Amino acid sequence: MTKRIVILGGGTGGTLTANRLHRHFRHHRIHDGSEDHAVEIVVVDQDDHHVYQPGLLFVPFGLSQPQEIVRPRKAQLLNGIEFVQQPIDRVETERDTVVLANGRELAYDVLVIATGVTLALDETEGLTGPGWNEKVFTFYDLAGATALETALADFEGGRLVVNVVDMPIKCPVAPLEFCFLADWYFTDRGIREKVEITFATPLDGAFTKPVAAAALGSLLDEKGIHLVTEFNTGEVVMDDDGAAGKLVGFDGREVPFDLAVVIPMHSGADYVGRSEGLGDDLNFVPTDKRTLQTSAKTNVFALGDATNVPTSKAGSVTHFEGEVLVENIIRFLGHKELDSTYDGHANCFIETGFSKALLIDFNYDTEPLPGHFPAAVGMPLLKETRMNHLGKLMFQWVYWHALLPGRDIPGIGADMPRRGKDLPKSVPDTQGAST
């Protein structure tokens, strides 16, 4: 008999998991007592457009073309993996079945949730009202990033406000990178002194982790970008003439703008909310942060942005989780204990403009620290260099050709490397550090 693994979502996590599982199971069968099983893998997604999401940051500045960062999802899956293009209606974990929007039912032995997040635009009053995609934009999807390119090109001066409505968001550094790139972009156009850039965040600093928050905070300072902290956006209000508007905080504070770039609230996928016992209040899937097994049922696993795992929602996290997840699924199907554990490893390049970037590397227990990655000789950590910028640009090739196909990338593994980092004598436990 064949065992079936159904993977919901054909993005970073779903694709690399499918390909890694396929590489394993095309050479191995599952031995289950007297029986021997082959494994089939099915990936479900509602569309066939795989967006290289780190590229969205560059589109508004004309540094990436929209068509360069989109490829068909199906083409990223190895031959032998079935791709089903259909919205998901719900998961019925009691019956081990996924029900698709067209009524088709997919029974599974193991389910992987990799459907990422959904932008919850409706949760902020006035966000998609008058001015939306004219004076108020987001670059967190392809349509928004593309529309913003035109608006930035037409912008001749005034108040540019970059606002994070609430955490969690994908890639928590991206809004800061947007500020840095905007500073560079307007400098390059010779109108920087006519543009006031403000970053309004619900956090109490520039970033979530103390050492990195201090480093990034001083970069904002150096670049003349204003920082407004603990700002919880309640409403977006446009002036009567529609030329400008303001963000109004729940505490009554106001941040006026001529152009607003808003990172909206994030939720898990809608079908999670329709699936009994699968998600939390925000449709994220409660997941064991070490084994990546969900609390819904033992044969349901999750990775990436879709989970409630306490680390950044980022492609690198998904990548590192994928290695652990695949090992644990193989163990689960072989009736073995799940002993592969994820340490919370995250790694990201932070574009700082003027062809430079920072690199940060951290996990559940160790916050981003200075030093080098992946060892004493390597890319500088928490320091602006051209080398890190080139690393960021090169990563797009690595993404399509090594990460998604599920090949191991030399020097970049699931466990966070400690060598090369300037570790304090006793590393404080920053696990669950408050924001």
Partner 1 sequence: MSTTTFAGTPVEVNEEGFFLDPNAWTKEMAIEMATTDGIDELTDQHWTVINFMRKEYFEKGTGPTVRVLGKASGVSVKDLYLLFPKGPAKMAARIAGIPKPKGCI
Q: Which is nearer to partner 1, 144 or 344 (CB)?
A: 344
Q: Which is nearer to partner 1, 46 or 283 (CB)?
A: 283
Contacting range for partner 1; rule: CB under 8 A; set: 98-106, 152-160, 228-236, 322-330: 228-236
What sign does the dihedral 358-361-365-370 (CA atoms) show? negative
Binding to partner 1 by residue 312, rule CB under 8 A? yes
**Chain Cα centroid distance, residue 79:** 27
The interface with partner 1 within residues 278-297 (CB under 8 A) comprises 281-282
Q: Which is nearer to partner 1, 295 or 396 (CB)?
A: 295
Contacting range for partner 1; rule: CB under 8 A; set: 129-137, 165-173, 214-222, 331-339: 165-173
How far is residue 250's CA from residue 252's CA, in Å, rounded to a whole number?
5
**Residue type at 159?**
R
Tell me, residue by residue from 233 to 272, as one string, x for binding to partner 1 by CB under 8 A and - for no binding: -x---------------xx-------------x-------
Contacting range for partner 1; rule: CB under 8 A; set: 49-57, 136-144, 309-317, 331-339: 309-317
Question: What residues contact 351, with CB distance under 8 A and at least 6 apart?
Answer: 57, 177, 180, 181, 357, 389, 392
How far is residue 6's CA from residue 44's CA, in Å, rounded to a whole number?
8
Q: Considering the complex, what minimum distance in angstroms separates the CB of residue 431 from partner 1?
A: 10
How far is residue 153's CA from residue 61's CA, in Å, rounded to a whole number?
8
Q: Which residue in the set 311, 316, 328, 340 belongs to the binding site for partner 1 (CB under 8 A)?
A: 311
User: Cβ distance 151 to 259 under 8 Å?
Assistant: yes
| Short-list 263, 261, 303, 305, CA closest to 282 | 305
| Residue environment code for 13-34, b if the CB has 16+ CB neighbours within 10 A, otherwise e | bbbbbbbbbbeebeeeebeeee
How far is residue 300's CA from residue 108's CA, in Å, rounded to a whole number?
10
Q: Considering the complex, what minimum distance in angstroms separates the CB of residue 171 from partner 1?
A: 12
As a residue count, the chain comes to 435
Tell me, residue by residue from 403 to 432, as one string, x for binding to partner 1 by CB under 8 A and - for no binding: -----------------------------x
* CA 239 vs CA 122, 125, 155, 157, 257: distances in Å: 20, 15, 18, 18, 10
Q: First-to-last CA distance in the chain? A: 49
Q: Considering the complex, what minimum distance in angstroms separates the CB of residue 315 from partner 1?
A: 16
Q: Which is nearer to partner 1, 291 or 363 (CB)?
A: 363
Tell me, residue by residue from 123 to 142, as one string, x for binding to partner 1 by CB under 8 A and - for no binding: x-------------------
Question: What residues contact 128, with CB distance under 8 A and at least 6 apart?
Answer: 121, 122
Q: Which residue in the set 72, 224, 310, 428 belongs to the binding site for partner 1 (CB under 8 A)?
A: 310
Q: Considering the complex, what minimum distance in angstroms separates the CB of residue 13 from partner 1?
A: 18
Q: Which residue in the set 230, 239, 254, 365 belongs to the binding site for partner 1 (CB under 8 A)?
A: 230
Binding to partner 1 by residue 166, rule CB under 8 A? yes
**Chain Cα centroid distance, residue 401:** 19
Binding to partner 1 by residue 210, rule CB under 8 A? no
How far is residue 378's CA from residue 264's CA, in Å, rounded to a whole number?
36
Q: Which residue in the set 168, 279, 368, 417 belongs to the binding site for partner 1 (CB under 8 A)?
A: 168
Binding to partner 1 by residue 85, rule CB under 8 A? no
Binding to partner 1 by residue 229, rule CB under 8 A? no
Instruction: Point out which residues bind partner 1 (CB under 8 A).
Output: 123, 166-168, 172, 208-209, 230, 232, 234, 250-251, 265, 281-282, 310-312, 432-435
